[in-house]
Amino acid sequence: MHISQMLEQSRRKNKSTFSFEFFPPKTAQGVQNLYDRMDRMHSFGPTFIDITWGAGGRMAHLTSEMVKVAQSVYGLETCMHLTCTDMEKSKIDEALKDAYKAGCTNILALRGDPPREKEKWEATAGGFRYAKDLVKYIRDTYGNHFDIGVAGYSEGCEDQDDHELLLEHLKEKVDAGATFIVTQMFYDVDIFLDWVDKVRARGVTIPIIPGIMPIHTHAAFMRRATWTKCNIPTAWTKALEPIKNDDAQVREVGKTLIAEMCRRLLEAGILHLHFYTMNLAQTTRMVLEELDLMPDMSSPIDKPLPWRPSLGLNRREENVRPIFWRNRNRSYVARTQDWDEFPNGRWGDARSPAFGELDAYGVGLKGTNEQNIKLWGSPTSVKDIANLFVRYMSGKLDSLPWSEAPISKEAESLQTDLINLNTRGFLTINSQPAVDGIKSSDPVLGWGPHNGYVYQKAYLEVFVSPEYIAEVITRIERDPDMTYYAVNKAGDLKTNAPGDGPNAVTWGVFPGKEIVQPTIVETVSFLAWKDEFFRLGQDWANCYSSVSPSRYVVEDLMDTWYLVNIVHNDFHVPHGIFPLFDGLEVEDMAKPLHSTRVVNGDEKSSINGAAAHTNGVNGQELKN
Amino acid sequence: MHISQMLEQSRRKNKSTFSFEFFPPKTAQGVQNLYDRMDRMHSFGPTFIDITWGAGGRMAHLTSEMVKVAQSVYGLETCMHLTCTDMEKSKIDEALKDAYKAGCTNILALRGDPPREKEKWEATAGGFRYAKDLVKYIRDTYGNHFDIGVAGYSEGCEDQDDHELLLEHLKEKVDAGATFIVTQMFYDVDIFLDWVDKVRARGVTIPIIPGIMPIHTHAAFMRRATWTKCNIPTAWTKALEPIKNDDAQVREVGKTLIAEMCRRLLEAGILHLHFYTMNLAQTTRMVLEELDLMPDMSSPIDKPLPWRPSLGLNRREENVRPIFWRNRNRSYVARTQDWDEFPNGRWGDARSPAFGELDAYGVGLKGTNEQNIKLWGSPTSVKDIANLFVRYMSGKLDSLPWSEAPISKEAESLQTDLINLNTRGFLTINSQPAVDGIKSSDPVLGWGPHNGYVYQKAYLEVFVSPEYIAEVITRIERDPDMTYYAVNKAGDLKTNAPGDGPNAVTWGVFPGKEIVQPTIVETVSFLAWKDEFFRLGQDWANCYSSVSPSRYVVEDLMDTWYLVNIVHNDFHVPHGIFPLFDGLEVEDMAKPLHSTRVVNGDEKSSINGAAAHTNGVNGQELKN
């Protein structure tokens, strides 16, 4: 959606809103950390985010990449900065095309700073000289596809102090087709409001968004003020100078000053605040909390769907996904990014599209070996691994190889059952409780439009040792309300699902609408997830040296255990799946596996063969 | 589905099944009556029906037409007879093509009787001589698309008494590609079973279906026995001869004899009975009741969907329909018969297809003027018309111009409310109660696979007088749970529906499946239904002479009243819609309308204008 349109919506509701600006980090690890932070900051409820333009080859590409990830994976409405610096027309074209393909519909068009090695800005041969040229070019080329923002220099800019001339330039940029203005950072509200009046006096009516720079440290505060030549009110100097060596105190006092400034802006009718986050969450969050603009977590921001919808170009209508990637959203978006169409309304509409190969999208385990070993230790037995799962389910561990984020609020109602099951050596990968029609406004489980009801079938994905796989399947098949898929690394699949069709496990009923069914369980996608699951396990094993007991035990699980997903189709039974495992506990869990390991391909590696090892359950009884 | 496949399924379940044979009636009224009867006999639960081949031009066309209607409208799996008599190859091709297009997959290939004017059968020039030639031709042309049945003459046929030769011919027909055998009628089980042994001895293994002719009258019984040369067991003659002049007693004794014969066949392992119904329901039903083969009405035959699914060629996947035609199934199928694809899973998939024009499909009012006047009398006031609706809702009237069948079992829970509303001059056209998740096996409201739950939103379609339309709309719009569409004859539409999308008003949740949502409310189809609704009303008005008070009153309603559909989106509230009308009653209902009628186009004919006439409700308050 266009930024000007979103601002107009908030204006009609007289609602204060805000946005965050990020820049491309220099290292790959920095990018990964920033993605995680952007994901967390999504929950603050920004209207949109900005990604600044990384001038130069690799950094330019990184901006495009980040815009795409923010739009597609994190569902953040993103504004891409684009500068004239060092950009011939072909590069501008490429950047715009990438933004278009990413589903981005907002561009901030800037002249840009001179490159580091030069003192004065010079136009690139075959490029654009002024921001207004770039605005005009984007407008001419893409019509109204992009909302186009331009910079407002309320206190002058680096190489231009003539304020009247700057106002004239701003007017020219607006006349060339700009639809909103973002100002440089400032601390003096009077100067800003005075400038706004001057802009309006020139007949410019488009929204003006003030740029807010939270105070991280005193040194940074001073450096940026000097660099942007912006005025520091005396009261600010008086408040900050005495405590300048105490970073914590600077942040605290700075928060109060910035918040006070924001309050004055809001009172003056400036309803949107743009935060220069400097890729940091803390100081921005402090200001938002002080302004009481952080969303109330007991009635969270609107969730149109139970998972984060993508804003990628072709994905805006997407509203059905398999449940398997719930804890690996990014990987799902990556592996499906080349689909021509995305399921909308029903999974069936997608006509069995293929999932991208694992290697093509780099969806393996994150982090270095050292980081992962530090995180998950060096297990030498099933019990060690089960303990990791128990710690994760208890909220004491933030991730597992298959779950990128801490355990969700939704899983809280199942926590006791999950801990109990993992303690007994059944490793739970994914789960959801049954929900028999709860209001769509429920703070934890709700999603979708108002006055609706949402439903879930109980779901459990569990990694089962070969000694119990046959018994578990036998028990499932005895219950006409349960459907399951079980598969091992080799791909031996067993299921009692009726036909190939998907099973809707989350759905919602809303006034005046068709039934929405955003989460499903289905064969083809489960097999794609299975590849990813075993690959992540192998990646984990590979963190340990090839002769270590940890490598051995993790690999052994990957080679011989079964990934099983189970749906309890009667959603009136909240904890319906757990009784399946009553009385089952993996034997000798504490025993180091090294010596007892069996080679792949023996009788344990087929689902039916496994039955011979279990408590009297005869493999013959299993239906195929 | 192929008949041989259905028989195999019943065999596996060791379930006795039956089928009905009908022939094309000579008159248009006869055809209409037969359709109604076929529809009613569908509830007896036949596995399939047969339509005999009407040799000769018009009658041949009628067979094709009846096959199409039975498949598409009534969802009856139909076997079309096809004979060599008087049929050159091009006619055979046309008949097969029509059957194919109708979704028919079963043909009974016969040589046929000689034409009336000839004594002996002769091959038509350019046609087929023997049934086996026809079998081979169908098999060669259509591969396995059609299941092909052939006749078995267990007691010889008209022009051939050599039983060994007949067995030889049967073997040849089977070798040519036949997949099931239907025998001529008979009364002697011993002869039949002996013949079956002989057929089997020749290596014929395909199913043999005995033809059963119930006894309607003694004269018909004797005539048919003579004509088919079949043996009448002495006991039968002894039982029927003394009572031959008492038709009722003949039917009663005949029922016992036929049922006894069927029991012996079932005991001998012949699990399927084919009834020559002679287009009559009574005697066949008597035999089925005697055999205890009629479905138990408290747990009715499987309903895959809440409405009768079509078996038309392209319609087999269709599983979503607008609610408006619920009482006019045939008209819906006719008006949508030219669609290239039918909605499956979601209405949205059908991409707003156009509904056929009313005239093109003859979907106007059934019956002659005299019949309709006899049925609905000659109303002269709103009260007279309201009384008709009250009688219909009470089950005392079998049809209304807009409802072809008596009020449904489902509406029983709303009966008191419906009668009350109609008494007050709000004429209810269609309705369903809210259902908050009832087992899919529920005998009245259930449908779909086992172990599922079905849901409904409360729905009411009501014809509202102009004096109350604004008040009713105001009340609806006050309730955030209600959505509505209101329209008059001129097409002035008012709605509070969010967007153009459909509202699912019936849905089901089943193990291992996506949500099924077979009934929806939606704009485009409501406007198509609106045309049909007002046309039917005008057709009714036209039954009365142009100067009569009845013509006047019905026309006045059509010209000035509003058709309103209302959905209560909170399906937890069973009778949620009716309180809307509390305290409202059409004034002066008993007053003859003739003198007070206002011309079309005055202020009463617009929804907002109408507000001026109501209890202080200001038209300005209505949102547009």
> Which residues of chain B register pLDDT less than 70?
57, 115-117, 119, 297-301, 349-353, 360-361, 593-624
Report the pLDDT value the prediction gives residue A565, as an integer from 0 to 100. 97
| Contact flag A512-B503 (C-beta cutoff 8 Å) | yes
Across the interface, whether the CB atoms of B481 and A436 are under 8 A apart is answered no
* A540, burial (CB in 10 Å: exposed 0-12, middle 13-18, buried 19+): buried
The residues spanned by each domain of chain B are 3-290, 321-362+374-615
Q: Which of A21, A461, A471, A555 is catalytic?
A: A21
Q: Quick one: how far is CA A608 from the chain centroid? A: 40
Of A594, A587, A624, the C-alpha closest to A609 is A624
In this complex, do A571 and B509 lie within 8 Å of one another by their Cβ atoms?
yes
Distance CA A515, CA A510 (A): 7
pLDDT at A349: 57
Please judge whether A480 and B511 are an interchain contact, meaning their C-beta atoms are less than 8 angstroms apart. Answer: yes
Which residues does chain B have within 8 Å of residue A520's beta carbon, measured at their own beta carbons? 514
> Taking Cα atoms as reference points, which of A500, A510, A18 lies closest to residue B512?
A500
The rounded distance, in Å, linking the Cα atoms of A479 and A415 is 24
**CB contact at 8 A, A459 and A575:** no
List C-alpha distances in Å: A26 to A33, A85, A114, B129, B163: 11, 19, 19, 88, 96
CA A132 to chain centre: 34
C-alpha distances out from residue A38 to A77, A316, A371, A399, Å: 12, 20, 21, 18
What is the pLDDT at residue B551? 96
- Collapse the DSSP code of B505 into the 3-class scheme (helix H, G, I; strand E, B; otherwise coil) and give the result: strand
Predicted interface score ipTM higher than 0.90: no
Which token pair is B191? 């002869």
CA distance B456 to chain A (A): 11
Amino acid at B572: H
At A623 the pLDDT is 36
Q: How many residues does chain B have?
A: 624
- Residue for token digits 């969010």? B498
pLDDT single digits (tens) A212-244: 999 999 999 999 988 888 999 999 999 999 999
| CA atoms within 13 Å, Cβ hemisphere of B359 | 0
Q: Are A459 and A521 in contact (CB under 8 A)?
A: yes
Q: Which residues of B touch A567 (CB under 8 A)?
A: 512
Helix (H, G, I), strand (E, B) or coil at A80: strand
Tell me the chain B residues in contact with residue A450 when contact means C-beta distances shorter than 8 Å: 480
Beta bridge partners of B20: B49, B275
Residue B585: partners with Cβ closer than 8 Å, 6 or more residues away: B424, B425
Backbone angles phi, psi at B190, to 5 degrees: -60, -45
Model's pTM, two decimal places? 0.82
CATH match for B3-290 among 3.20.20.220, 3.40.50.9100, 3.20.20.140, 3.40.1390.10: 3.20.20.220
Which parts of chain A have pLDDT scores under 50?
A: 300, 595-606, 609-624
Closest CA to A460 of A393, A401, A524: A393
Q: pLDDT at position B623, please?
A: 36
User: CB count, 10 Å around CB of A28?
Assistant: 9
How near does any CA of chain A get to the CA of B30, in Å? 42
Q: What is the pLDDT of residues A530-540, one digit of tens each?
A: 999 999 999 99
Q: Angle formed by the axes of helices A549-560 and A523-541, to 10°?
A: 170
Known catalytic residue: A21? Answer: yes
Chain B residues with CB under 8 Å of a chain A CB are: 345-349, 436-437, 449-451, 455, 480-481, 483, 497-499, 501-504, 507, 509-515, 517, 520, 567, 569-572
**Secondary structure class of B346 (helix, strand, coil):** strand
